[in-house]
Structure formats: structure tokens, C-alpha cells
Amino acid sequence: MLKTTTTNIEGRNIDTYLDIVVGEAILGANIFKDIFGMVRDVVGGRSNAYEQEMGKAREIAFQEMEAKAQSLGADAIVGVDIDYEVVGQGGSMMMVSVSGTAVRLR
């Protein structure tokens, strides 16, 4: 499914705006303990393990959003926004949230 952060798709016309669709994924406290336990994985201030887990969470959120759009009969999702938030008591969890508008193209 075509996804874009813009509000239109060059060369295509939007026929119908269907609904706002959202996908979310939350990384729990255990993953943080596992990741922070891998100090040797940190190179140049970056943690490969942490980035991989965030990538997985982002992919899950996108899959969820896309599935909701498909169930509405959408051809594309426009205006996609990606947010990251720390949630839970003491910031023990990380949430990845993606949202956009499901549309049907001509």
C-alpha cells in the first residue's frame, strides 16, 4: 500500500477520504533492561540492539495502520505521521504510534 507523509500523491487524484487510521506498538520495560544490559553493543553513542527493537516496533505499528486502511478499502494512506513517546510509570515503556488518512484513489 502506498504511504506518504504528504497530503497528496503526485500524478494521482484522491477520490474519497475514508477515515483516520492509526497503528501503535509498545516496547515494555523488559526490553529496556535487555537492551541496556548490552553495553558492549553501543558504538559511537548508538545502540544497535535498541535501534533494531525500535525498528520492529515501527514496522508493527505500520502493519497495523495498513491493515486498518485495507479493511476500509483504501488504496493509500496520506499525511502519515510517526510519533515516539515514553509512557508508563516512571517512563518504563516506549510507544511508537503512526497515523494517517486512508484514501481511495481514482
pLDDT digit string, tens, across residues 68-101: 999 999 999 999 999 998 887 776 778 899 999 9
Supply 101's cell numbers.
488518512
pLDDT at 89: 74
Supply 100's cell numbers.
494517517
- Provide mean pLDDT across the span 40-66: 79
Q: pTM for this one?
A: 0.80
Q: Amino acid identity, residue 12?
A: R
Among candidates 47, 24, 45, which has minimal Cα distance to 93?
24
pLDDT at 92: 72
**Alpha-carbon separation of residue 104 from 31, 48, 60 (angstroms):** 38, 38, 23
